[in-house]
Amino acid sequence: MIVSARAYDPRMLSIDTAQRRARLATRHRLAPSARSNEPVDIARSMVVLHATDPATVYLSVGARGIDLAPADVEKVLYDDRALIRLLAMRRTMFVAPTELLPVLQASTCDALAHKQRRTYGRYIEQAGVVDGDVSTWLADVEAETHAALLARGTATGVQLSKDVPRLRTQINTAPGKSYSKPTSITTWVLVVLGAEGRIVRGRPNGSWTSSQYTWAPVETWLPQGFSPLPAAEARVELVRQWLYAFGPAPITDLKWWTGWTLGEARKALAELDTVEVDLDGTPGLILADDLTPVPTPEPWAALLPALDPTPMGWQSRDWFLGPHAPALFDTNGNIGPSIWADGRIVGGWAQRPDGEVVTRLLEDVDTATRKLIDAETARTTTWFGDTRAIPRFRTPLQRELTT
């Protein structure tokens, strides 16, 4: 709780690990009393849901939901369109509340589109496959692709490449290298158009675990459109929401989560009323109007999926991860499925090919906590039903549990 001050600085409040875990349980809707029956509210609580692995979105909602099923998530994504899938911070795929789109577009996506177009243009120029100005050529291909999608209504990348022959242009990004493999520019163009907010990822071709999506023009997917924001204003709002969901936290965590420079993060923070606090010897920041301690919730447990937004919300994770990183993370820094109890990670889990959800504790827990974990395992098994999710990456513990 926020109860003590550093001896050497009476102005700096101290927030201990117990209070951070209480906030995590409540703000992230993991304690049973904080769970929701509304997928959009769950997404708002996390700012965004991590979506690199399509199954993560559904499992993250399921872990925080009450009497929800995958069909409820599909409805808000593709019928209500109250959630939207997009490439944003750190060039990572997320699902966000649609009302947050103007903030993400101005704070992150516009800069991402510019960076990706410049990168892809350089590859095309180096390949020497275009006569004349590459930027003009690429802009023409983008416009033609957008027009083709407007004509179709919805389409896959393969379908669009048939309508727009230049999408089939082959580029070798690493000529002469053993790992080199020519690739068409279809995905590149769709990434740029998506980052610019001109097209939207629609329904997948398959179940909720599929990563093969159709595309739709934003004009038909969101006919009401959205009002653009100044980039600086959008960054401030994104930081405000992140601090409420993940604060208190060091500025380095904010820099990592947003993918911005330290200067950009500090500039956005300067527009907010924040308080510096002591996090067990590390300085952190919290919104000035968020100093009231969050009550400790009832005992709880959760099975969170790989790349869930809770563990991926911070770069400094010792206060909830403990010594379990070697078992739960792959070499690229991706966390696998994790078991949580009262604000800390205590183990991991996996789904076997036959559908069984298996768990392994990495530290001792009491009998009551074990019962809570068993109940969450049963909930996760019910959520999967007959669906089998193939992991996009594998961690050491996940490998052990499935072999």
Tokens of 145: 């692709």
**In this predicted model, what pLDDT tens digit does every residue of 198-232 receive, in sequence order?**
999 999 988 899 888 999 999 999 998 888 999 99
Mapped onto helix, strand or coil, the DSSP state of residue 274 is strand
For residue 145, pLDDT beyond 50: yes
For residue 183, pLDDT beyond 60: yes
Which residue intervals of 186-259 are DSSP H helices? Answer: 186-195, 218-221, 231-246, 251-258
For residue 31, pLDDT beyond 60: yes
Q: What is the pTM of this model?
A: 0.93
Cis peptide bond N-terminal to 248, omega within 30: yes
Domains identified in the chain and CATH numbers: 99-221 (1.10.10)
Q: How confident is the model at residue 10 (pLDDT cuts 50, 70, 90)?
A: low
CA dihedral 198, 40, 315, 302 (to 10 degrees): -140
Return mean pLDDT, the chain. 94
For residue 9, pLDDT beyond 80: no
**In this predicted model, what pLDDT tens digit does every residue of 317-334 receive, in sequence order?**
999 999 999 999 999 999
pLDDT at 301: 98
pLDDT at 94: 98
Tokens of 386: 């007959």
For the stretch 340-364, what's the b/e string if a residue is b when 16 or more beta carbons lie within 10 angstroms of its beta carbon? bbbbbbbbbbbbeeeeebebeebee
- In terms of Cβ atoms closer than 10 Å to its own Cβ (0-12, 13-18, 19+), residue 37 is exposed
Residue of 391 and 296 predicted with greater confidence: 296
Q: How confident is the model at residue 391 (pLDDT cuts 50, 70, 90)?
A: confident
pLDDT at 4: 35
Q: How confident is the model at residue 11 (pLDDT cuts 50, 70, 90)?
A: low
